[in-house]
């Protein structure tokens, strides 16, 4: 029986592809090319009416997905209370 980390014979191991090769992005040195895109998880904490700030849940969410040498582009959150003039 093949080892659990051995891919089927018809597949090339991904560790040997360009996806997992280093990349220099400006002043940032990435160990691989897997980048987490920005998401809108709506996990900010309400500070006051219309004002939301990242909190512990946001830190936990991105921390669970972080890895050494990787890049995450984090989400946006509301920073201004919009008042309709209608």
- Determine phi and psi for 52, rounding to 5 degrees: -125, 140
Q: Work out the number of other CB atoms within 10 angstroms of the CB of residue 35.
A: 12
* Integer CA distances (angstroms), 76 to 40, 43, 58, 70, 80, in order: 7, 10, 11, 19, 12
Question: What's the pLDDT tens digit per position in 9-63?
Answer: 777 778 888 999 999 999 999 999 999 888 777 778 888 877 788 889 888 888 9
Pairing label, strands 51-53, 45-48: antiparallel
Q: How far is CA 80 from the centre of its chain?
A: 24
Question: What's the pLDDT tens digit per position in 61-70?
Answer: 889 988 888 9
Count Cα neighbours of 41 within 13 Å in the Cβ-side half-sphere.
18
pTM for the model: 0.59
């Amino acid at each position: 029986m093949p080892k659990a980390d051995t891919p089927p014979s018809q597949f090339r191991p991904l560790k040997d592809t360009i996806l997992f090769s280093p990349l220099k992005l400006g002043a940032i040195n990435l160990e691989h090319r897997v980048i987490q895109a920005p998401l809108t998880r709506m996990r900010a904490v309400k500070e006051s009416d219309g004002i939301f700030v990242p909190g512990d849940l946001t830190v936990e969410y991105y921390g669970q997905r972080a890895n050494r040498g990787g890049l995450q582009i984090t989400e946006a959150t509301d920073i201004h209370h919009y008042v309709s003039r209608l």
